[in-house]
Amino acid sequence: MTTLPDALAPDDMQTRAPAADGADAAFGAMPEWRLDDLYAAPDDPALKADIDWARQACLDFAARYEGRLAGLDGAGLAEAVAAYERIESRLGRVVSYVSLRYQQNTVDPARAKQLGDAQTAITDLTTPLVFFTLELNRLEEITLQTLLDGSPALARWRPWIERVRAFRPHQLSDELEKFEHDRSVVGVASWVRLYDETTAALEFDVDGETLSLEATLNRLSDGDRTRREAAARALTQVFRKNLRLFTLIMNTLVKEKEIDDRWRKYPSPQSVRHLSNQVEPEVIAALDAAVVEALPRLSHRYYAIKAKWLGLERLEFWDRNAPLPDADDRKIPWEEARDAVLGAYADFSPKMAELAQPFFEKGWIDAPARPGKAPGAFAHPAVADVHPYVLLNYMGKTRDVMTLAHELGHGVHQRLAAEQGELLSRTPLTLAETASVFGEMLTFQRLLAAETDPTRRKALLAGKVEDMLNTVVRQMAFYRFESRVHAARREGELTSEQLGEIWMAVQRESLGPAITLGDGYETYWTYIPHFIHTPFYVYAYAFGDGLVNALYAVHRDGMAGFQDKYFDLLRAGGTKKHGELLAPFGLDAADPGFWRRGLSVIEEMIDGLEALDG
């Protein structure tokens, strides 16, 4: 059913500070969303009309098809799926609008109320649809395959049907499924909303200045070490003050998931994410093992080098994102950031730049940081017959330019995949990160090629290494943290101290001996939104980075027709699995050497940084 989409879960929390609406003296004018492509205003009659239409459409759909799917021929079943898609699309427009307005200002009670009311209304009105996927999964396999093979109209929906039927062994009774559907609006969604509104309202006293979470995290990359430490102390103080609430939210959501997993007979807490990502557990296990094996050569080695650059025996945890000495700390104007990304995209293919251009011109990006605005960054596909929306918190750093490139990669991907329609455009998270990370790589390579100053080249290369470590090493550490938390929660409720111990253990393993994880760092799990929004989302980043490193190597080696094959990969949306999509490039994620080759790209960059030191 239509709910708040995974795509609205923010990408890895970026560190940014607030700016004035729409512009900043250092950045110039920046775009903000124009949501009128969805609805003209919060009280637009069309919004209520769409909800009313969907309510009647759901009743009509159930009256026509409930209890009758087994008697349909291929054409009739194809017509049913198409009708179901039309309802999903109309409701997706409603959810997108109220969700995006809420993300613009999560502390506005009116926006929060509209989101909550819309989610409740949609949950209620879609109850008559619950039967559809349940009955679809009850069709005998031989019967369904005969229908698919005999009807071109139905065969178009094969990928979506296969995704639905992947969950067939974990389906509950019709009555229980309807109960779960009705309960959802006061279950997970409410706890997620509580977390979001709590984090958005947090205030931090840093050297007498009151800052938001974004602004305080931004100080952790300040060039002044005393300012970084002050920010870290402020974060610790506020996280500790709210630790009981965050611990309760985590315990509740993890237990809720354990109950659901147990009733549905999922073999592991990660199973539902693997199924939705259409990726085999063995592939993710191989990725995790490859990352753990490479830690001494990657993060452990890099942070030891960075400590030496900073003149320190060891880094404190607030030094991890510190800029290098003599690094260029200028603020990059928005127009320069835009030109860098579009230029990198155009170098790869003019078509890619053409797909990205409207985001800047038509109100598809909301760039300025504002009090109350959702943290981090994301690209939301909205619905297939409109266009995606990108949220940023732009603060003019090189990393912010990379974030722009990342989210525009998502946007280009979503525009191309939209050709498949509402149901078939939905890309598994593992493949959804491909275009975003590829966009980052293109932009980085362009910036590096244009930079002639040795100090700035070193800073650029170090920044890319840190981004890749955050994308691969840090995200897989998050995955191991979640895995251990979900396993431990099955033995009983976890205290704040236990959660902190698990967090510290995986962080020590991940970051290595060159970083001191001092008092207070045990609370830092609390600000990672993915643990709350989308359990086990995080490995998709590492999957995407490794996949892109391999793809970029193929591109760099001059594969004929690479651009066309790449656009075909993006255009496929959710119609193909990773094995089918990678085959034209000669790549196989099931190959144990695949991930080692991807990680070797990071290792080679660290080698390059060591060589710069002579």
Sorted by where each begins, the domain ranges of the chain are 38-183
Angle between helices 130-138 and 174-183 (to 10 degrees): 150
Cα–Cα distance, 205 to 428 (Å, whole number): 40
Angle between helices 454-469 and 592-612 (to 10 degrees): 150
Separation in Å, CA 493 to CA 242, 246, 402, 486, 504: 18, 13, 39, 10, 19
Whose tokens are 């598994």? That residue is 428
Superfamily of domain 38-183 in CATH is: Oligopeptidase f, N-terminal domain (1.20.140.70)
Is the backbone of residue 3 left (phi > 0), alpha (psi -120 to 50) or beta?
Answer: beta
> CB neighbours (10 Å) of residue 94?
23
Whole-number pLDDT of residue 205:
96
Look at strands 209-211 and 204-206 and give their pairing. antiparallel
**Phi (first) and psi of residue 88, to 5 degrees:** -60, -40
Q: Of all helices (H) and strands (E), which one includes residue 436? A: helix 429-450
Whole-number pLDDT of residue 24:
60
| 316 SS3 class | strand
Whole-number pLDDT of residue 25:
66
Among 290, 270, 301, CA closest to 608: 301
Whole-number pLDDT of residue 23:
42
Whole-number pLDDT of residue 16:
31
Q: Tell me the per-residue pLDDT of 92-103, one tens digit each, with 9 for 90 and over.
A: 999 999 999 999
Please report, as a single letter, which amino acid is at residue 103. Answer: Q
Q: Tell me the per-residue pLDDT of 522-576, one tens digit each, with 9 for 90 and over.
A: 999 999 999 999 999 999 889 988 888 888 889 988 999 999 999 999 999 999 9
Whole-number pLDDT of residue 589:
84
Please report, as a single letter, which amino acid is at residue 143. Answer: T
Task: Find out whether 295 and 606 touch, Cβ atoms under 8 Å.
Answer: no
Regions of the chain where pLDDT drops below 50? 1-23
Among 173, 429, 140, CA closest to 277: 429
Cα–Cα distance, 314 to 305 (Å, whole number): 10
pTM for the model: 0.83
Among 255, 272, 81, 71, CA closest to 171: 272
Cα–Cα distance, 229 to 222 (Å, whole number): 10
Separation in Å, CA 345 to CA 234, 444, 555, 564, 571: 40, 11, 14, 14, 17
Cα–Cα distance, 155 to 334 (Å, whole number): 46
Look at strands 315-316 and 515-516 and give their pairing. parallel
Q: Of all helices (H) and strands (E), which one includes residue 379? A: strand 378-380
Task: Give the angle subtended at the CA of 87 by the CAs of 86 and 93, to the nearest 5°.
Answer: 95
Q: Tell me the per-residue pLDDT of 437-452, one tens digit each, with 9 for 90 and over.
A: 999 999 999 999 998 8
